[in-house]
Amino acid sequence: MVDETTKISSLLLILLVSSVRGWPRTVRPMVHLHGQRTVTTTKSLVTRTLGLSARITGLPQAQEEHQRPPDPQSLFSSQEELEAPVGRLLDFWRDKQNIFCITGAGLSTESGIPDYRGNNGSYHRGHKPMIHQQYMESEYQRKRYWGRSMVGWKGFDGALSNPGHVALAELERKGWLGVTMKDRPEYYEPDQVDEYYLQSTGERKVALVTQNVDVLHERAGSREVIHLHGQGDILRCMQCGAKQDRNEFHMELEYDNAAWLEAATEDYDESTEMRPDGDALVKEVDYNEVHVPNCPHCKTGFFKPDVVFFGDTVPKHRVAICQGAVDAADGILVVGTSLAVHSAFRHIRAASSRGIPIAILNVGETRAELEGLDHLLKVEAPAGDTLSLLVQKLTEMGKTV
């Protein structure tokens, strides 16, 4: 438990940061999807910020259950009820030509991949994600990760794109989503800079950046996608840098651990035990018995999913692309994320400071509201149905809204 001194210190720190940024404001009206206006007082804002801060930093959160957002699918029972939130998004689209999108785990929940902080989120069930330092420094933690991944990866990788992914792909295809910006060498990994000088057309297009490590956007047809936190289906050797397809690695992993895997999956229920990282909760087993193959290229290095684990940093070239996309945008659409993680929220804060309108489609409060960002439209509705109806309405109007 966090003692009272720690709680007071956290509160004082938040108030200090608040005074520097000019928030919390004494009264902050927020217009919700039904046109209701609610007033957020300084006390309630700080209280909820403490809760969000706990979730970001890993501090214990006694009120976590109280803060669990509602099930998105429980909010609306018919298309008629979606008319109001979709109408607000149509108004947002008005006169905009360069909308940039940021998506999060809440978009993929309709595909059966759990999120962290949603209604049935992994954090509410006691899931503790892999920490970068743990993975890099502990052979046991790597064995534990790959043991659990042998159980959970097939369900994760086998998920299908849902209507929300399809709608965003259609918005991009019709030219209603995405920005075009000048291409720059800083948008490439260090070993890809030569590619920029040899092959770049001078322009860079970006439709959306996703915090998700799945590839459901691409499977739905999205083309210009940036994976802020990497892709779970690609592995990288931590010694020589060689990359390998994850499914190929799993074939060898499962062959080497057939007996262990059979014991671990006894009574396994994918519907309740799969985790957002592509691993799973399995019954008590000895992870020391798991054999993890070394990199076949250098023979001694170990593979890590080419993703940003908690405690790691986003590669600089991806940050630069997002910054460039925000600068080129005249509107930002946020879908399915609480923005609790700084790597995505920093771009929303930058857009707000530049006066760029922001529309957030998410069930549950986000960090943008807690910090009282300006130029913010919040819509609480299920992502898939709402985005699908938005595409239908834009198509009927010929994008003349």
Evaluate whether 383 touches 85 at the Cβ level (below 8 Å). Answer: no
CA–CA separation, 75 and 81 (whole Å): 9
Sorted by sequence, the CB contacts under 8 Å of residue 270 that are 6+ apart come out as 152, 155, 280
Is 375 among the residues known to form the active site? no
Q: CA nearest 52: which of 341, 309, 312?
A: 341
Which one-letter DSSP state was computed for residue 287? G
Centre a 10 Å sphere on the Cβ of residue 289 and count the other Cβ atoms it contains: 13
CA–CA separation, 179 and 181 (whole Å): 7
Centre a 10 Å sphere on the Cβ of residue 180 and count the other Cβ atoms it contains: 13
Which strand (E) or helix (H) includes residue 245?
strand 243-245
Give 303's strand partners.
237
CA–CA separation, 366 and 63 (whole Å): 16
HEC sequence for 297-366? CCCCCCEEEEECCECCCCCHHHHHHHHHHHHHCCEEEEECCCCCCHHHHHHHHHHHHCCCCEEEECCCCC
Instruction: Name the active-site residue from 229, 250, 291, 297.
Output: 229
Centre a 10 Å sphere on the Cβ of residue 39 and count the other Cβ atoms it contains: 10
DSSP-derived secondary structure for 145-164: HHHHHHHHHHHHHT----HH
Sorted by sequence, the CB contacts under 8 Å of residue 391 that are 6+ apart come out as 167, 170, 171
Positions marked active-site:
229
